[in-house]
Structures are given as structure tokens and as C-alpha cells.
Structure 1
């Protein structure tokens, strides 16, 4: 894994995170807003754990085979500040793949808007600082 690839992935992640934050600020006039926010959340979460995995592997931490293992190691390493919330986020992300319950979708939307988007943004800032140190 090279540094350039890490910076490229971070750039992709930051863009996705910004788009998610933008989506959470849209007025809820239609159910399609819920759908769009949840879809952006799914995409951003997937990028987040894969980026954490890539960074941790770059630093010499390997054998990370799942999002849960990656989140735990990222918390131990100090990349993320609230490991329990990240695990909750992963569980909610897994729910969204099979989500047919409108009330559940609205609950996840609220968590994305009020909690998860901040955690995802914080990860981007933390990784940006970490990558500056190795560049």
C-alpha cells in the first residue's frame, strides 16, 4: 500500500462524507429524502471502514478481515473516538440492506443526521491529520 493510494481514498471518503452531511440538511418534504440519506450513509460507511483498514494496514496492523475488527482496531489506535457508537453505526448499516420498515428507516435517518454524520466527519479530519504526519 502506498501513500498516494491512501490520499486518493481519503479524498473519495471526504467527498462522500460531505455529500452525506449535505443530504442531512435537506428539508424532509418527501420520503425520497430518507432514502437518499440512507443510501449516502451506506456508501460513506463502507468507504470509512475500508479506509480505516487501509490506513491500519499501512501502519503495519494486518489481519483485519471485517468491519467490526477494523472498528475495534481503529478505536484502539485512536482513529475514532467512540467505538461503541461506531459498532452501533455498523449494525444500523447492516440493517439498511434489508430495510423495509418505514419507522426503522426514520430512526436510522435520525441517527445518521444527529450522530453518525459527525462521527464520519471526525474520522475524515483525524485521518487527514495522520496522513500529513507520514507525508
Structure 2
């Protein structure tokens, strides 16, 4: 049986911090605003990683697919082929790109476009 608890918690924390980010007082010091934005990004990364790993287990254990890839984009494609995604595959591939971009952008500029 697949345990969804970690994924559910990570999504809940992401939503909570994103709402916090959206309601930030613009008068807060820049450093505080950046800290909250960075927290949202970190929570997105954790949620994204949990999701593709849960999908991987689901594809293997519940659907019995013998050779499930070990990276996000192929897993999302396989999930789409098996009608597991409620939104178009392009959206999930966009999340994959956002995950890669925010991880490797140390200036914070790309993050601004995603929040």
C-alpha cells in the first residue's frame, strides 16, 4: 500500500506558505520578504519531489508497470499515458522545468516569475 501522508503534508505546507506569501505586508523588510519567497520555493521543491516519487511507486505497485523510469519527466509522461493526471502533460513538464530552474538559479530572478 502506498503511503500518501508525506505528499499530503508537503502540499498542505506549500499551500499554507504560498497564502502567507500572497498576504505579505509590502512594508516588511526586503530580507523578510525574500525569506518567505524562498520558503515557498523550498516547499514547492519538496512537494514536487514527493509527487513524482509517489507516482513512480503507484505506476510500479498498483499498475504493475515493470520498468518505471527513475526521473520525473518520463514518470509524468507515463502517468499521462495511464490517465493519472487531470491536467495536460505540458503543465507537469512545466513544473519539472520550474523545479530545475529554481534549484539552479541563485539570483532569485526565475523564482519571481513562478510565484
Between 1 and 2, higher relative CO (CA 8 Å, sep ≥ 6) is seen in 1
Comparing 67-76 and 57-66, the one that deviates more = 57-66
Q: CA deviation at 1:89?
A: 0.2
Q: Which residue of 2 aligns with 1:114?
A: none
2:37 paired with 1:34:
yes
User: CA RMSD, aligned part only?
Assistant: 1.2
How high is the TM-score relative to the length of structure 1?
0.71
- Stretches of structure 2 lacking an aligned partner (at least 5 in a row): none
Q: Which has the higher helix share?
A: 1
Which residue is equivalent to 2:110? 104
Give structure 1 stretches of 5+ with no counterpart: 110-135
Runs of 4+ in 1 over 6 A off after TM superposition: none
Structure 1 position 94, deviation (Å): 0.8
In structure 2, distance between residues paired with 1:17 and 1:62? 28
Q: How many residues align?
A: 103
Match in the other structure for 2:89: 83
Instruction: Provide TM-score, normalisation by structure 2.
Output: 0.83
